[in-house]
Amino acid sequence: MGYQTLEQALSFKNNLAPLKRSILITDTLLAQGNFLVHHFIVNQIKADKHVVLVGLSQNFNHYLNIGRKLGVNLTVSSQKGYFSFIDGLTSLTINSSTIASTSLLPTAMITPLSITNCTKETLLNFYNIIKKIITTHHASANSNVLLIFDDLSVLIYSGFKVCDVLEFWGACRVLIEKYEGTLISLIHADEVTGSSSTDNIDFDDEIFIKSLIYKSEYLLSVRGLKSGFSRDVSGEITIARGPKNFEKWFRPITLHYKILDNNVQFFAKGFSQGVS
């Protein structure tokens, strides 16, 4: 499965993301939360559930290589119909009508600066591509498709308006709930969660981040240690419920974590000596 010590902290049923919910992962440039994306992908695939991964910051080979380390072959999963990869930046530059019914889209590397048409219509076309992949490959009654954006901040950095990205995100959430699925979004949140100074805050970014926090049921916040670099601890993660989540079983917690070659270990603050 994924990271066992994280599973114990999350306490999700069958170690799978709760259905018809939104999970927001926030990280910083110095403490990136990509390892959480891999955790959810692996658990979903090993449970024979479906994943649609929209890669906006990494190409398919990145996820393929890490998946292999965690015991999952995403190419095989794609061939079996459980996994679809959408190269986000490539898809933003093509028309949805030209997309064939394939579960694995091209992985050509396109930088955010390559997107010259950052309009609401471009995001609508992007939504239609995602919708086509889901309805073609992941619409069965028991697929419980997991839609992942890694990372959604790239759309803001590329020049799309915050209000348009939030509307796009909301449409994707409605779509995924229709198929009894889950939406996971990773965003960078340095300005709001990683700094005590307000001098350099981009208030559009702040609105974007806080809006997603308000609309999500589960919040996973990854950040570096306040004390600085540590050989034994890579950073800390706070697991919390969103403002509209009143589930009594859920218990917020803050853990330290250590990134290893083929694993990530999580442990209570102050117990890093348990890391081998």
pLDDT digits (tens, 9 = 90+) for 116-125: 688 999 999 9
Mean pLDDT of the chain: 85
Structural domains of the chain, with CATH: 4-274 (3.40.50.300)
pLDDT band at 114 (very low <50, low <70, confident <90, very high): low
- Residue corresponding to tokens 């069965």: 140
- Rounded to the nearest angstrom, the gap between the alpha carbon of residue 23 and the centroid of all alpha carbons in its chain is 8
**Stretch 209-222: mean pLDDT:** 96
Residue 107 has pLDDT above 60, yes or no: no
Choose between 184 and 151: higher pLDDT: 184
Determine the pLDDT at residue 273.
Answer: 53
Residue 194 has pLDDT above 60, yes or no: no
Cα torsion for 150, 57, 71, 21, to the nearest 10°?
0
Single-letter residue type at 133: I
Alpha carbon distance, N-terminus to C-terminus of the chain: 20
Q: Is residue 84 packed enough to be buried (19+ CB in 10 Å), middle (13-18) or exposed (0-12)?
A: buried
Determine the pLDDT at residue 108.
Answer: 38
**Stretch 73-102: mean pLDDT:** 82
pLDDT tens for 229-269 read: 778 899 999 999 999 888 888 888 999 999 988 888 898 87
pLDDT tens for 15-70 read: 999 999 999 999 998 899 999 999 999 999 999 999 999 999 999 999 999 999 99
Q: Is residue 183 packed enough to be buried (19+ CB in 10 Å), middle (13-18) or exposed (0-12)?
A: buried
Give the H/E segment covering residue 222: strand 218-223
pLDDT tens for 123-149 read: 999 999 999 999 988 888 778 999 999
Q: Are 195 and 184 in contact (CB under 8 A)?
A: no
Determine the pLDDT at residue 226.
Answer: 81
* Alpha-carbon distances, residue 242 vs 26, 78, 95, 166, 168 (angstroms): 13, 32, 35, 17, 20
Residue 275 has pLDDT above 80, yes or no: no
Residue 214 has pLDDT above 70, yes or no: yes
